[in-house]
Structures are given as C-alpha cells and as structure tokens.
Structure 1
C-alpha cells in the first residue's frame, strides 16, 4: 500500500487530472506539481478559466459543436456555405477539419459511430437531427468525414442509405486518411489533401 505524500486537496487534483485523456497517474502527478509550483501564474488562472467554461460553454443544438453561444459561431456565420455539411464523429474532429481546410462549410457532429457491440445504435447518435437538416432542403452536399475504422465506415454506409431519398450529393474523404486512423491525430496537410480528393460514397 502506497503512502500518501500530500493532503486530500492535492490528491483530488491529481485524481481529476489523471482522468484527462493522455494523462495517466504519473503524468497527472507531474502536472499537478507544476501547477502548484506556478500557483499564481498557472493554477489560479486555470481555475478561473475552468469555472468560466462551466458557466458559459454550451453544446450547439443545431450542429453539436461546443461554444459559448447556441447556435454556435459556425452555424450563425453568414459567410458559411449553407449548401455543404461536413459530418464528423466528434467535436475534436470538427476542430481538426477547421484547422486543416479552407472549406467554409457547415458541420454536423454525430457524437460517435454506430457500434452494436457497445450498444450504440442510430438513436444514441444525432443522425435524426442530421436527416432533419437535410430535409429542410438547402443542403446540396454532405461530406462524410468519419474515421477510417470499421465503425466509421459502417456509420457512413448507414448515413448514405438514410440520405438517399433527398437527392443530395454524398461524398467522403479520400486519399490520405489511413485505415484505422483517427482525424484528430492526422497532420493538417494529410487532412487537407483528403478533403480535396473526396469521392462520391
């Protein structure tokens, strides 16, 4: 049994940091110690920013992006191409696409992929909301920017079937996205090339 070397407040900070993706217990301890050492420069501003985020961050009821406004700044931007929607699995993928591409389109965040083994069906994702957006009639192209995994491709096929009756052009990312790859881990050049060479799905 390991001995406790810090008070309960510090232990709680470490435990919470360890829940952040990419941080294990050891990295969380290092991060906590660094924050504590830089209390005035880092810890206090971080605590303030996190408190403000809890109060102000919202999920966009239209596309699923996170922002401080609902609808989000992407959905309310009049310069966006209203005829094109890029469908992504998660908000991190939306942010990756925004960093990498010059395509000034709208987005739709699914909230994951279809995975029957994990109990994730169409009702657990925002597929119905996407279909409703397409049914409104303004959209001419849907770009399926889902990960090149089995679940991602299953989801893409399902979406293609669901959108068939609306006569929209359904495309997907092409060259550059490796099978099994995830968008958030790809470099911006690869993502940009994949978007430019998209093909009909």
Structure 2
C-alpha cells in the first residue's frame, strides 16, 4: 500500500477528487496540487462557489433537470416550443443538447437507462411522469435522444411502447457517421446504422 505523501487534509482532498468521473488517482493528485498552488486564484473561489451552490441545488419536479430553481429555467422559459419534448437519460445529455443549440424545446430526464444486469428496471426511472406529461395533450412530438447502446435502444423501445396510445409522433436521433468522421475509423455498428439511416441528396 502506497504511503501518504501529504497531510490527512490534503489526502482527503485527493481522495474526494478521485471520485469525480474522469479523474483517477493520478489525475486527482495533479488537480489537488494545481489547486493548492493556485489557492488564491482557484481554491478559494472554488470553495466559495461550492458553498454558494450547495444549498441552492434543486432537481426540477417537472423534467428532472438540475438547477438552482424548481421548476428549472428551461421549464419556465416561455420561448421554448411546448409541442416538442426531448427525452434524455441524464442531465449531462440535456446540457450537451443545450450546448449544441439545435432545438429550442423542453426536456424530460429519465435518470438512466434500463439495465437488467445492473438491476435498473422501469420503476427506477422517471417514466410515470413522462407518460403523464405526454398525455396532457400539449406535446405533439417526443424525440428520444438516448445513446446508441444496447441499454439505450432497449429503453427507447420501452418508452415508445409506453406512449404509443397517446397519438404523439415519436422520433429518435439519427445514428451513423459523425461530422468529420472517416469511414475506416468507425466500428461496424456505426457504419450499419449509417447505412440503414441513409437519406436522399
């Protein structure tokens, strides 16, 4: 077992940083060291920001987004298209679509995807409120924006079946060759999806 190279407070900081997705033990050590070196410019403002947001974080009761208000800023935005609802697995997916800025719509966060191997079933997802929203009568199209994984596709099929009787149009994101992608670098599944979803020029 490696020995601690710093005091317990710094080791605790490193261990907490290592729990952040995308940061392993080495990256966490580098991040902690950088924060310590830049404590006036980074660590103090970061600590203040954490303290400020901690008591204000709320999960939107309408869509499941994370914001500092409930309902969230997206749900109360009157400029959003009320007829289009985008279904995503996680808040990170919602934020990614917002960054793309392609659609000015409303969202519904499922809180994950169906995964029998991980013990995640329909009752573990935000599905009942989705069905209720779709049956309110305002929504004309549900865009299912889930990952092109087995779990994502299983969940997309399940959601489609759940809301089939509502009469709303159900669409999904196109899958295939990414912008800037070269064919010889793509896997067979991506190429097959691109061929199936081919369009006229």
- What's the TM-score once normalised by structure 1's chain length? 0.86
Equivalent residue, structure 2, for 1:42: 42
Question: Which residue is equivalent to 1:92?
Answer: 92
CA distance in 1, matches of 2:88, 2:2: 43
Q: Number of residue pairs matched?
A: 181
**After superposition, where does 1:132-151 map in structure 2 within 5 Å?**
132-151=132-151
- Would the aligned equivalents of 1:57 and 1:69 in 2 still touch at CA under 8 Å? yes
Alpha-carbon displacement from aligned partner over 1:106-134 (angstroms, at most 9, x marks no partner): 00000100111211111100011100111
The equivalent residue for 1:124 is 124
State how far apart, in whole Å, the 2-side matches of 1:90 and 1:127 are.
13
Q: Is the 8 A contact 2:14 2:25 kept in 1?
A: yes
Residues 114 and 120 of structure 1 are in contact (CA less than 8 Å); yes or no, is this contact kept in structure 2? yes
1:50-129 equivalences in 2 (<5 Å): 50-129=50-129
Deviations 1:89-122 (A, max 9, x none): 0011001111113311000000100111211111
Q: Give the unaligned 5+ runs of structure 2.
A: 179-193
Q: Distance in 1 between matches of 2:176 and 2:74?
A: 26
Which stretch shifts more, 27-36 or 97-106? 97-106
State the alpha-carbon separation in 2 of the partners of residues 176 and 48 from structure 1. 43
Q: 1:98 to 1:63 in 2, by over 3 A?
A: same
CA drift of 1:31 comes to 0.6
> How large is the RMSD of aligned CA atoms in angstroms?
1.7
User: Secondary structure of 1:157's match?
Assistant: helix
Cα deviation per residue 1:24-57 (whole Å; 9 max; x = unaligned)? 1111111101101111110011011111121111
Matched, 1:4 2:11: no
What is the CA distance between 1:177 and its match in structure 2? 6.8
Identify the residue that residue 157 of structure 1 maps to in structure 2.
157
Given that 1:148 and 1:177 are in contact with CA atoms closer than 8 Å, whether structure 2 keeps it comes out as: no
Q: Structure 1: how far apart are the matches of 2:3 and 2:115?
A: 42
**Contact persistence 2:148–2:175 (CA under 8 A):** no
Q: Normalising by structure 2, what TM-score?
A: 0.86
Structure 1, gaps ≥5 residues long: 179-193
Distance in 1 (CA, whole Å) between partners of 2:167 and 2:89 is 23
